[in-house]
């Protein structure tokens, strides 16, 4: 059978090992490695010969074998070559660090970096830093990232564009946007990738206004956003409710061809949804045709759910399944959330059980939706039992959802017990303290309200300040409760006082239980009249033409009194008012809300 074996591409004569023949061996091994069609088996054979002849110190030969192993995705073998080299150069370390980073093996990338500078005493260079920093960004490892930043300065790479771009990206992804901006501002040359890292960092760390400002600076410099920048800009537009700016990004996506990218389409749908324009979101969804993936379908289902159109959500889910698109756990989170917002308890139970039919094990978000659905429906005991039976440990959000249900149904006894669980998991989250305080205030338990305030101060718990946003003429205006420094404040407050009189004529009674202070009723009513939602709505009324839809974005849950007032204002002014709070949309028309007062 020997004659059937493939003949070797090269041979090495073991006899007559003269000095000249030994010197020729590395070249004999290198020659077949240049073949573009070389197989993995051939590489392994040559590697074996290298070990046989003790050529581990031949850097050129080792480097070539290792890079070929990387090309064949044999990282362990590539690393083995490096580990057996007595004096490797920085080249092979850089190649391996880059390969680990590119394949998201970030921990291995950083471990090799530390081996390089400590165990082997090899100095990193401008080719090392970008990929090591990329791994720091991937792991959000700010400590190592700062260390590498210091090393890059010592190596004289302060002005290198690629190193600086990687630093900007690393700091931004680690949440250190200020440090990212400092590096960016000192860069002598900035390309699109540096700019994009900065924009993405702002957007993904919640600096939405700064994202928009930075886009303006980028465009002034003559650059247009790439795919990553486009996605970041759409995220910020959605969070700000900046519909007009989002429409500009839509035009840019169409002009540059990014509109054919399903991820961009999904981001556009999300932007339109968050800006209250669900019709445009559905139009994009329909135009996507065969490009739609499960993420795109899930996003559209979520859009209907957040706007209170549960029929649309259920219909789309059924169509998705009928067309053979397999839902995942995210899809079920969207459909369960839609059921929760509309109080469809039995339907929600059915979809939760349906996950088994698709072989999907419920994840934490799925359980959280069921807890929210049960809690909103008044099934507080069942919701608590579901939490305790979960296969994974509940997080603070799950318990917080049940605490919110206790507020809706006024169950103070359970609220106190649930609050203990919540504060144990997160004692510094001021929002849950305020939620419990709301429950006490609704029962006029002012002593307990004061105790919670003292506890918040002692723990250093952070209370999120409520604000509302309104976009007008391409600018996003921010309003805080009782703020008189806002533009046209005198007109706004006058308008609200006039509306207050008109609402009382229609029988409106201010819901003073939403004011958490033990003060006189008249003072409570005044405090309610100037909540941020009402200020934003009034600004929209005096700034836009009659009949124009008012779109307001609120960072917290809309308060009950503002909800009641917005219904009446929509009737008085004959306007459509859309308010997006942290949970859902409320579309006020002709004195009614799309949520049907279930929220």
Spell 509-534 as b/e; 16+ CB within 10 A means b.
ebbbebbbeeeeeeebbbbbbbbbbb
- The number of domains in the chain is 2
Q: Is residue 540 part of a domain?
A: yes
Write out 346-403 in H/E/C secondary structure. Answer: HHHHHHHHHHHHCCCCCCHHHHHHHHHHHHHCCCHHHHHHHHHHCCCCCCHHHHHHHH
From 55, 88, 121, the end of a domain falls on 88
Whether the CB-CB separation of 256 and 264 falls below 8 Å is answered with: no
| Predicted pLDDT of residue 6 | 37
- Residue 49 within any structural domain of the chain: yes
The per-residue pLDDT for 116 is 93
At 467, which helix (H) or strand (E)? Answer: strand 467-472
Share of the chain above pLDDT 90, in %: 65
- Residue 276 domain-assigned (yes or no): no
Supply the pLDDT for residue 29: 78
Look at residues 88, 121, 141 and tell me which one is the last residue of a structural domain.
88
By the 10 Å C-beta count (0-12 exposed, 13-18 middle, 19+ buried), 179 is classed as buried
Task: Assess if residue 223 is contained within a domain.
Answer: no
pLDDT in tens, 137-178: 999 999 999 999 999 999 999 989 999 999 999 999 999 999
- With cut-offs at 50, 70 and 90, classify the pLDDT of residue 50: confident
For residue 162, the model assigns a pLDDT of: 92
pLDDT in tens, 187-223: 888 888 889 889 998 998 889 989 998 888 888 888 8
Longest CA–CA span in the chain (Å) reads 112
What domain range is 81 assigned to? 2-88
Residue where one domain finishes, among candidates 61, 88, 115: 88
Flag whether 137 is in a domain. no
Assess if residue 317 is contained within a domain.
Answer: no
Residue 353 lies in a domain: no
Runs of H (alpha helix) within 426-445: 430-442
Q: What is the pLDDT of residues 359-369, one digit of tens each?
A: 999 999 999 99
**Interval 501-531: pLDDT, tens:** 999 999 888 766 555 554 444 555 666 788 9
55 within a domain of the structure (yes/no): yes
Q: Could you tell me if 96 and 78 are in contact, meaning their C-beta atoms sit under 8 angstroms apart?
A: yes
């Amino acid at each position: 059978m020997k004659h059937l074996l493939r003949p070797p591409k090269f041979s090495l004569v073991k006899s007559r090992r003269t000095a000249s023949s030994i010197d020729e061996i590395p070249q004999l091994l290198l020659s077949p490695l240049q073949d573009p069609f070389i197989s993995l088996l051939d590489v392994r054979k040559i590697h074996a010969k290298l070990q046989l002849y003790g050529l581990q110190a031949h850097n050129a030969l080792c480097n070539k074998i290792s890079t070929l192993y990387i090309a064949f995705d044999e990282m362990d073998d590539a690393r083995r070559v490096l580990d057996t080299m007595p004096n490797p150069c920085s080249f092979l370390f850089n190649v391996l660090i880059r390969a680990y980073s590119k394949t998201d093996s970030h921990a291995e990338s950083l471990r090799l970096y530390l081996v390089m500078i400590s165990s082997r005493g090899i100095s990193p260079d401008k080719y090392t830093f970008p990929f090591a920093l990329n791994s720091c960004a991937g792991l959000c490892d700010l400590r190592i990232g700062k260390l590498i930043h210091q090393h890059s300065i010592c190596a004289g790479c302060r002005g290198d564009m690629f190193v600086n771009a990687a630093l900007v990206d690393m700091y931004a992804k680690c949440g250190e946007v200020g440090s990212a901006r400092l590096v960016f501002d000192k860069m002598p040359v900035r390309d699109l990738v540096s700019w994009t890292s900065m924009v993405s960092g702002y957007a993904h760390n919640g600096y939405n206004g700064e994202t928009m400002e930075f886009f303006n600076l980028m465009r002034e410099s003559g650059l247009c956003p790439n795919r990553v920048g486009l996605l970041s800009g759409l995220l910020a537009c959605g969070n700000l409710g900046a519909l007009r700016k989002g429409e500009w990004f839509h035009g840019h996506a169409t002009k540059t061809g990014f509109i054919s990218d399903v991820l961009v389409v999904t981001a556009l749908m999300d932007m339109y949804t968050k800006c209250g324009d669900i019709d445009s979101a559905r139009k994009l969804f329909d135009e996507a045709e065969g490009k739609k993936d499960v993420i795109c379908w899930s996003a559209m289902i979520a859009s209907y759910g957040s706007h209170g159109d549960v029929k649309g959500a259920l219909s789309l889910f059924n169509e998705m399944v009928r067309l053979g698109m397999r839902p995942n756990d995210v899809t079920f989170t969207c459909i369960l959330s839609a059921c929760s917002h509309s109080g469809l308890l039995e339907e929600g139970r059915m979809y939760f059980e349906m996950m088994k039919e698709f072989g999907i094990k419920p994840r934490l978000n799925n359980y959280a939706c069921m807890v929210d659905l049960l809690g909103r429906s008044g099934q507080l005991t069942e919701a608590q039992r579901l939490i305790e039976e979960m296969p994974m440990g509940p997080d603070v959000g799950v318990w917080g959802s049940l605490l919110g249900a206790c507020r809706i149904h006024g169950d103070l006894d359970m609220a106190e017990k649930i609050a203990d669980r919540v504060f144990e998991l997160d004692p510094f989250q001021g929002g849950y303290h305020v939620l419990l305080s709301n429950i006490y205030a609704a029962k006029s338990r002012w002593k307990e309200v004061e105790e919670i305030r003292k506890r918040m101060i002692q723990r250093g718990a952070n209370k999120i300040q409520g604000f509302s946003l309104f976009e007008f003429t391409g600018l996003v205006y921010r309003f805080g409760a009782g703020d008189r420094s806002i533009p046209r404040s005198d007109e706004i407050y006058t308008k609200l006082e006039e509306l207050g009189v008109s609402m009382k004529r229609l029988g409106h009674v201010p819901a003073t239980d939403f004011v958490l202070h033990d003060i006189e009723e008249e003072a409570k009513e005044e405090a309610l009249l100037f909540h941020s939602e009402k200020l934003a709505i009034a600004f929209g009324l005096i700034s836009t033409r009659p009949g124009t839809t008012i779109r307001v974005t609120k960072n917290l849950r809309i308060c009950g009194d503002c909800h009641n007032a917005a219904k009446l204002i929509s009737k008085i002014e004959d306007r459509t008012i859309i308010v997006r709070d942290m949970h859902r949309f409320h579309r006020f028309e002709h004195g009614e809300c799309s949520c049907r007062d279930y929220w």
